[in-house]
A = this chain, B = another copy of it.
Amino acid sequence: MEYEEGKEKLIQAWGTLGASWGLNRTMAQIHALLMISPESLSAEEIMKELNISRGNANMNIRALIDWGIVYKEHKPGERKEYFKSEKDVWELAKQVAQERRKRELDPIIKMLNQVENIRDDSGQVENIKEFKKITKDLKKFADKSNGMLDKFIRADEHWFFGTLLKSFK
A163 nearest CB neighbor, chain B only: B167
Decide: A9 near B167, CB < 8 A? Known: A22-B20, A118-B1. Answer: no
A135 nearest CB neighbor, chain B only: B10
Interface SS majority for chain A: helix
**Is A37 in contact with B130, judged by CB distance below 8 angstroms?**
yes
Copies of this chain? 2
Indicate the size class of the contact surface on chain A. 35 or more
New A-B pairs, 11, CB < 8 Å, besides A17-B107, A38-B126, A89-B141 = A1-B117, A1-B119, A2-B122, A3-B122, A3-B127, A6-B115, A6-B131, A20-B103, A36-B131, A36-B134, A90-B141
